[in-house]
Chains A and B, each alone.
Chain A
Amino acid sequence: MKTTIPTRGQRERELSQRIQGLYSNQLGHRPTKVICQLFDDSLAIVMENSITPAEQLLVEQGQEELAEQVRSGLDDAIEPNLKALIEEILEVKVLDLMGDATLETGRSGIVVVLSNTPEVRNPDAVPKAKPKASNGRSGTHSQT
């Protein structure tokens, strides 16, 4: 019996909830909002209120550089789990994961490059990139 393939929205919602749970579990701090959006074979993640109270305290006291170091370390520490979570939910490989955070606004953004466009029930709902030259990215890239 074949299980139903989730829609784009279902995949994005599940990702958002699981990422929120991952950050909550690892940092003891739950981002208030996590938005995930699939486009072609990439994924964009935007998190609001993603900065922990300790980092906020450092920023408020003028220790931005130290807060940046803390954030960079936390991103590195979470990355393997985040990558595994994305691969589990989207059922494709993660080729690259690039993120940054703005400590002043508490927002974080991550762009994830995937090996393929994830399979969804409504593939037309996933925005496609414009046709490109053959010098594509490394990894297995499926043509749809």
Chain B
Amino acid sequence: MHSRISHSQNIEHILAERIQSLFIDQLGHQPEDIYCRFLDNKLTIVIENAITKPEKLLIAAGYQDIVKKARGSIEQILQPEFKKIIEEISDSQVSNMLFATHLDTNYVSIIALFADNYQLTSN
């Protein structure tokens, strides 16, 4: 049982690192903290300080609408990348992904639903 929990934590840790690299590569921005938790056939991801400096500057200058549009597009662009990383690391098929950016709190939250119950394998 202990090794099963450790394996789960290890996968969550690897996932968080890969997501951080994706943010740095694609947006030139390093989020503060990334939490990943597997539960049954679901994966929840919470990314802290996910809003880039240009977005914060635009919001401060009153261009919230442009930021919302740009974030919407960025989410659409990054979603397949997230799916690819999650499927690769979990070795499970993602059937659905819910993606939300919260501009007021700087959080990005993601829920990935797996096609079948996610099985933690020890290898």
Residues of A that sit less than 8 Å from B by CB: 26-29, 52-55, 57-58, 61, 63, 66, 69-70, 73-74, 76-78
Contact = CB atoms under 8 A, between A and B. Distances in A.
A54 B58 contact: no
B74 interface: yes
B123 interface: no
Contacts of A54: 26-29, 52, 54-55, 70, 74
Most A Cβ at <10 Å: residue of B26, B54, B77: B54
B64 to A, nearest CB: 10
B77 A57 contact: yes
Contact of B26 (A29, A57, A70, A73): A57
Contact of B69 (A57, A69, A74): A69
Contacts of B58: 70, 73-74, 77
B interface secondary structure, majority: helix
Contacts of B14: none
Contacts of B26: 53-54, 57
- Residue among A26, A61, A63, A77 with max Cβ neighbours from chain B (10 Å): A77
B100 interface: no
Instruction: Please classify the interface of chain A as helix (H, G, I), strand (E, B), loop, or mixed, using the class held by over half of its residues.
Output: helix
A52 B28 contact: yes
Given A66-B69, A73-B61, A27 B54 contact: yes
B9 interface: no
A63 B57 contact: no
Contacts of B74: 54, 57-58
B92 to A, nearest CB: 27
Given A57-B26, A58-B77, 11 more contacts: A26-B53, A28-B54, A53-B28, A54-B29, A54-B52, A58-B73, A63-B73, A66-B69, A69-B69, A76-B61, A76-B63
B66 interface: yes
10 residue pairs, one from A and one from B, having the closest CB atoms: A53-B28, A28-B53, A77-B61, A73-B63, A73-B58, A77-B57, A27-B54, A73-B66, A52-B54, A54-B27
Contacts of A74: 54, 57-58
A69 to B, nearest CB: 5
- Chain B CB within 10 Å — which of A53, A61, A63, A78 has the most? A53
A61 B52 contact: no
B102 to A, nearest CB: 17
